[in-house]
Amino acid sequence: MAIAGTGARTESGHQAILDTLETRLGPQRFNAWFRSTTRLDIDKDYVKLNVPNPFVASWIENHFLDDVEASIAQGLGEARPLMICVDASLSKQLRKRQLDQQATRVRRTTTGETRGGDLPANPPLRNRLETFVVGQSNQLAYSAALLVAGGQSAAYNPLFIHGASGVGKTHLLQGVCNAVGQRKGKPVRWRYVSGEQFTNEFVAAIKTKRLEAFRASYRHLDLLAIDDIHFLAAKRATQEEFLHTFNTIDAAGKQVIMASDTHPRMLGQLSEHLASRFVAGCVVKMDPPDRTTRLKILARKAALVGQAIPREVLEYIAVHIRGNVRELEGALVKLTALAGLSKASITLDMATDALAEHLAQTDGALTLGDIEALVAAYFGVTPADIHSSRRTHTVSLARMIAMTLGRRHTQMSYPEIARFMGKNHSSVVLAVQRMDRMIDQDGTCKWMTPSGPKTASARQLMAVFQDQLS
């Protein structure tokens, strides 16, 4: 790993971080992902990890983030925010041997494969069930995941976990994969992928005429875990392929688990066959963590980075930040970074001052971004479509509903909603007025789905979203 910075103290800090990271990961993983092809820059306010391409950035963030952050805290004697940035110039340093080594490790990670055919002793996915913080908001989902991990899941196929971004869905899916990989006895064939990865592999298999090989890689698994399954919405061919894959795995008595931002019935561009198969299993919602759970999460994160934080400070953060886990961790990182820069102990007064702006930006668990994601998933479009100038019936309706719900469920003004969506103030006003008028007059909304046009009364449609947001 290349280093940057000046002064003996900086060089010493770099080496301490690298030594700690290599110890935590082991020489093989450290050499494959960090040595020679990444660069570590230490700034007074943060630490930047430069990587050669977006794939490596995503892999490190999903699998080694805790190890890198802990190594920084230990190597520098203080926690600092970590930034992972792509530097294309580093790609020139990637040798074929390193690329092959990375590809092999990715394959073993996502399929449970090893040289001898046995499962790895230390599953390489980042998250484990034993590190999941359990609370009232996620108890049911965690219990279902435990049953699946223990092979006692006959009635839970598929297990479909849904909830807002940042509540821990990915943690549970990866935790189940790690758990089944550690079972004693006959090795378990498992794979963890995202909906986007499944789609990309399917398209590539068609183009390269390797469809049978693609199907064999999925349909003979003991466990298939698919994250962000909502990515399949509006992709008719991919949905049909996944339906056959699911049916094959299910018929063999094997397990499928999935995660999505929303309930399968709220994925409006999902085929009726898939939606019916999903709801026939166990559908579990994960809510944002309650106060007690937030406090447990903060305490665990503080211990992970080796930072001593008074309980009253943790309670202050837990009380005032009521969103997802990422918001909690972001507040903690900001606070520990400030304490490190000022060389002062963390106190309640420091937390109050340091987090004032952060609290103002994250006040309330429901944001316009959450609303927009829910609406986009239902109509099978993306938030980018809603922000665009597209005027199809489906996109225009989704945009109008998102704006109306934003006014009803957030404290954002018309100009603020307009800035968020890249529109002008008058466009938002007219859209909300039109939607309110359709609701008052019980008008009809029309949009397109993979199976053709669909209609519903404006009142019924809004009631569906109101129920999900309540």
CATH number, domain at 36? 3.30.300.180
Q: What pLDDT is recorded for position 173?
A: 95
Residue 405: both structure tokens together: 């719900």
Contact 83, 46 (CB under 8 A): yes
Q: Residue 372: its pLDDT value, please? A: 86
pLDDT band at 7 (very low <50, low <70, confident <90, very high): very low
Cα–chain-centroid distance for residue 281? 23
Residue type, 418: A
**Residue-wise burial string across 106-122, b where 16 or more C-beta atoms lie within 10 A, e elsewhere:** eebbbbbbeeeeebeee
Same domain, 161 and 269: yes
Contact 245, 218 (CB under 8 A): yes
| Under 8 Å between Cβ of 173 and 128 | no
CATH number for position 413: 1.10.1750.10
Lowest mean pLDDT among 25-39, 76-90, 110-124, 417-431: 110-124
Residue 315: strand, helix, or coil? helix
Q: Clarify whether residues 282 and 295 are in a common domain.
A: no
- Higher pLDDT: 410 or 438? It is 438
The enclosing H or E element of 445 equals strand 444-449
**Is 232 found in the same domain as 146?**
yes
- pLDDT, residue 271, reads 84
Question: Which tens digit of pLDDT belongs to each residue from 230-249?
Answer: 888 778 899 999 999 999 99
Walk across the sheet containing 47-51 and list its strands: 2-4, 39-42, 47-51, 82-86
The pLDDT, as a whole number, for residue 103 is: 57
**Residues 362-382, mean pLDDT to the nearest whole number:** 76
The mean pLDDT value for 164-169 works out to 84
Please give the Cα distance from 462 to 407 (Å, whole number): 13
Closest-CA residue to 310 (of 335, 279, 328, 285): 335
Domain match, 270 and 137 both: yes
pLDDT at site 450: 67
Q: Are residues 316 and 383 in the same domain?
A: no
pLDDT per position as a tens digit, 263-320: 888 876 788 889 889 998 999 999 888 888 888 888 888 887 677 788 888 888 888 7
Centroid of chain to Cα 163? 11
pLDDT of 357 above 70: no
**Tokens 């498992």 identify what position?**
190
What tokens were used for 288? 């944002």
- β-pairing, 47-51 vs 39-42, is antiparallel
- Specify the range with the lowest mean pLDDT, choosing from 30-34, 139-143, 214-218: 30-34
Structural domain harbouring 104 = 2-110
- Of the pLDDT bands very low, low, confident and very high (cuts 50, 70, 90), residue 11 is low
Q: What's the chain's Rg over C-alpha atoms?
A: 24
**Going by C-beta distance under 8 Å and a sequence separation of 6 or more, which residues neighbour residue 278?**
158, 160, 258, 264, 270
Of 57, 75, 110, the position where a domain reaches its end is 110
Give CA–CA dist 261/264, Å, rounded: 9
Domain final residue, candidates 361, 396, 417: 361
Residue recorded with tokens 């391409």: 53
Is there a single domain that holds both residue 323 and residue 435?
no
Are residues 279 and 130 part of one domain? yes
Please state the rounded mean pLDDT for residues 75-89: 80
Q: Give me the number of domains the chain comprises.
A: 4
| Type of residue numbered 154 | A
Among the three residues 331, 361, 391, which one is the final residue of a domain in this structure? 361
Q: Percent of the chain beyond pLDDT 70?
A: 85
Check whether residue 260 and residue 406 sit in a common domain. Answer: no
What are the φ/ψ torsions at residue 298 (nearest 5 degrees)? Answer: -65, -40
On the question of pLDDT at 154 being above 80, the answer is no
Same-domain pairing of 329 and 431: no
- How far, in whole angstroms, is CA 339 from its chain's centroid? 29
Q: Are residues 142 and 231 in the same domain?
A: yes
Dihedral-angle region of residue 452 (phi above 0 means left; psi in -120 to 50 means alpha; beta otherwise):
left
Q: Do 145 and 264 fall within a single domain?
A: yes
Quickly count: other Cβ atoms within 10 Å of residue 53's Cβ: 15
pTM for this entry: 0.62
- The CATH number of the domain holding residue 323 is 1.10.8.60
388 vs 152, 403, 429, CA distance in Å? 46, 14, 17
With 90 as the cut, is the pLDDT of residue 99 above it?
no
Q: Encoding tokens for residue 93?
A: 């340093």
In this structure, the answer to whether residues 98 and 196 fall within a common structural domain is no
Who's near 150: CB < 8 A, 6+ residues apart? 179
**CATH value at residue 155:** 3.40.50.300
